[in-house]
């Protein structure tokens, strides 16, 4: 196989591995949320919203501070993403046709291939920026809604429901997770600059690493179920 043809084989295989893994992860979150960390965290956030809104006068400051911390984290990541995207754009515009690191690269060294690599990395950062902006948007809505008394306690239909607030909080968290995944993918695309072999190897290593981070154990699921039962008992006593 020629050196230039490796990019047409290993790069699609690496991206396909990441796509298949995240397709499986999405199916697991929708069908078996207890087996994934994202699913368990979504359930925990729903319980947190219910606990905060059950006594909004007492827990209002704590709830707003918690949401504000998430807004600050999303703001930092969004700023980092758009800064890196801008730096790559400046680098591409200032780069000449001569390749200074061609000796270290095993693969396609054409100018078009180099531009495609940098554009792919910049696209990941732009996607990460947009996802974190959407996360900030939902977190800002939740900061107002979480201090409102729930309709189940007040008995009035014009008050906010707990389900609506928890859905908004989970959507913000999902966008935050998508933005973080875009950073992960940008790392593999960055290694593509040094050739398709490091990029393909990093895709396989990242799939294994993400599987370790995204899945839960029976002990973790048991703790979550026990806390859920205790939370239901406390709500019934109230």
The answer to whether the beta carbons of residues 24 and 38 sit under 8 Å apart is no
Is the pLDDT higher at 97 or at 117? 117
pLDDT at 218 over 80: no
Q: pTM value?
A: 0.83
DSSP state of 104: G
Select from 199, 169, 210, 157 the least CA-distant residue to 67: 169
Instruction: State residue 189's pLDDT score.
Output: 92
Least confidently predicted of 25-34, 146-155, 178-187: 146-155
Domain ranges of the chain: 28-96+105-227
pLDDT in tens, 58-96: 888 888 899 999 999 999 999 999 998 888 877 766 664
Three-state DSSP state, 108: coil
* pLDDT at residue 220, rounded to an integer: 64
Report the alpha-carbon distance of residue 195 to residue 114 in Å, rounded: 10
Mean pLDDT (the chain) is: 82
Q: What is the dihedral of CA 164, 168, 174, 178, to 10 degrees?
A: 140
Number of Cβ atoms within 10 Å of the Cβ of 167: 17
Q: How many CB atoms lie within 10 A of CB 121?
A: 21
């Amino acid at each position: 196989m020629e050196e230039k043809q490796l990019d047409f084989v290993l790069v699609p295989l690496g991206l396909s591995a990441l796509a298949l893994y995240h397709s499986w992860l999405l199916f697991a979150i929708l069908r078996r949320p207890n087996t994934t960390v994202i699913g368990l965290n979504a359930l925990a956030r729903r319980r947190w919203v219910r606990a905060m809104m059950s006594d909004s006068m007492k827990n209002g400051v704590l709830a707003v501070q918690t949401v504000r911390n998430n807004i600050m984290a999303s703001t930092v990541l969004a700023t980092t993403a758009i800064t890196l995207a801008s730096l790559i754009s400046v680098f591409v515009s200032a780069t000449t046709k001569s390749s200074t690191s061609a000796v270290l690269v095993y693969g396609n060294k054409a100018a078009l291939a180099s531009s495609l690599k940098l554009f792919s990395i910049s696209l990941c950062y732009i996607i990460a920026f947009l996802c974190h902006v959407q996360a900030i948007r939902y977190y800002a809505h939740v900061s107002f809604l979480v201090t409102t008394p729930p309709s189940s306690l007040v008995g009035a239909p014009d008050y906010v429901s707990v389900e609506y607030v928890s859905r908004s909080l989970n959507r913000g968290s999902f966008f935050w997770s998508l933005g973080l995944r875009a950073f992960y993918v940008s790392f593999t695309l960055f290694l593509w600059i040094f050739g398709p072999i490091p990029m393909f190897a990093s895709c396989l290593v990242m799939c294994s690493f993400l599987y370790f981070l995204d899945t839960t154990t029976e002990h973790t699921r048991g703790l979550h179920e026990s806390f859920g039962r205790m939370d239901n008992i406390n709500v019934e006593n109230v």
